[in-house]
């Protein structure tokens, strides 16, 4: 499941190759994604020059002079570089063709999205999908104070508040459990009950968890941008609690618990993570 580190690694993989290059063709092989891929996107993009490859939360933003292509990898998506002559595989839904490079969007479950935001509609940050997103967790704006302020008065469990995306972006189901374990916080705790100090610890834990994943991703970059790796080869996760139900906690040997919050699995150590 691509979370922020995987998306950022993908961005770093495609940016040096796409930026300032002319996109000879953009091909849509399967328009049925999260939302239909606009039928005129090939015409919109063919022959245009990529100006930059950015990221906001888990959205990839490929910017052109006349607008921005918004890409989301959903939960099973990957963007990989492929040799020019390699046959497409099942679930390769879209294709970017440059003179000497080619990229394929592979997404078996089609939870991903490819959208277009024309420049005349204003800054892409005002797109409905991006407008209400929270702060970037790896930016200087992401602090314990910010978390504390955003959590104030919220009854929602802290785990779900982290996942909601309106406070902080890019923290998915895996890293939410991992960061809460690292910070020693019970995922069921109402967000508004967290002290300023614990919010500071949590912000730090989130940053460390994501940065650590990002570092390990750097070495597997080639899985995203060359033809060698299988599509969807995500980072090897060195999880402390995620999918470890019943196994002994690495800190105290207490069996890790699995609960469901908002239809999603949460893993935590009932002893290390306090109320």
Residue 76 C-alpha from the chain's centroid: 11
Cβ closer to DNA: 48 or 264? 264
Strands (E), the chain: 25-28, 50-56, 59-64, 67-72, 78-81, 92-97, 102-106, 113-118, 257-261, 264-268
Q: Which of residues 189-228 bind DNA (CB under 7 A)?
A: none
- Helix (H) or strand (E) run with residue 4 in it: helix 4-18
Residue 246 makes contact with DNA by CB under 7 A: no
Residue 81 catalytic?
no
Residue 270 catalytic?
no
Query: Distance between CA 58 and CA 6 in Å, rounded?
Result: 9
Residue 208 catalytic?
no
Q: Which of residues 57-116 bind DNA (CB under 7 A)?
A: 57-59, 72, 74-76, 90-91, 108-111
Residue 265 makes contact with DNA by CB under 7 A: yes
Residue 219 beta carbon to DNA: minimum distance, rounded to whole angstroms: 22
How many residues lie near DNA (CB under 7 A)? Answer: 33
Q: What is the greatest pairwise CA distance in the chain?
A: 59
Query: Distance between CA 10 and CA 72 in Å, rounded?
Result: 11
Q: Are 105 and 62 in contact (CB under 8 A)?
A: no
Q: Which of residues 135-194 bind DNA (CB under 7 A)?
A: 154-157, 160, 163, 165, 172-174
Q: Which residue of the set 11, 55, 56, 58 is catalytic?
A: 58
Residue 243 catalytic?
no
What secondary structure letter does DSSP report for 8? H
Q: Which residues are the active-site residues?
A: 2-3, 58, 264
By the criterion CB under 7 A, which residues form the site for DNA?
1, 3, 32, 34, 57-59, 72, 74-76, 90-91, 108-111, 128-129, 154-157, 160, 163, 165, 172-174, 262-265
């Amino acid at each position: 499941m691509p979370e922020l580190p995987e998306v950022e690694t993908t961005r770093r993989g495609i940016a040096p190759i796409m930026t300032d290059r002319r996109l000879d063709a953009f091909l849509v092989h399967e328009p049925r994604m999260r939302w239909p891929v606009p039928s005129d996107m090939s015409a919109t993009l063919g022959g245009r020059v990529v100006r930059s490859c950015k990221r906001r939360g888990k959205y990839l933003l490929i910017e052109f002079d006349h607008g921005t292509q918004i890409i989301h990898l959903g939960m099973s998506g990957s963007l990989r570089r492929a040799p020019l002559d390699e046959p497409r595989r099942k679930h390769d839904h879209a294709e970017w063709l440059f003179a000497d490079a080619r990229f394929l969007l592979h997404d078996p479950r089609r939870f991903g999205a490819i959208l277009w935001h024309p420049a005349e509609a204003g800054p892409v940050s005002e797109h409905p999908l991006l407008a209400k997103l929270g702060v970037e967790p790896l930016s200087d704006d992401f602090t314990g104070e910010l978390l504390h302020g955003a959590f104030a008065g919220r009854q929602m469990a802290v785990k779900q508040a982290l996942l909601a995306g309106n406070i902080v972006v890019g923290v998915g189901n895996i890293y939410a459990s991992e960061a809460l374990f690292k910070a020693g916080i019970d995922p069921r705790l109402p967000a508004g009950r967290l002290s300023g100090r614990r919010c500071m610890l949590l912000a730090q834990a989130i940053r460390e968890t994501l940065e650590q994943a990002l570092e390990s991703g750097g070495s597997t970059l080639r899985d995203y941008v060359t033809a060698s790796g299988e599509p969807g080869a995500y980072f090897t996760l060195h999880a402390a609690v995620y999918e470890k139900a019943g196994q002994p906690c690495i800190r105290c040997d207490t069996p890790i618990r699995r609960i469901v919050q908002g239809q999603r699995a949460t893993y935590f150590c009932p002893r290390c993570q306090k109320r």
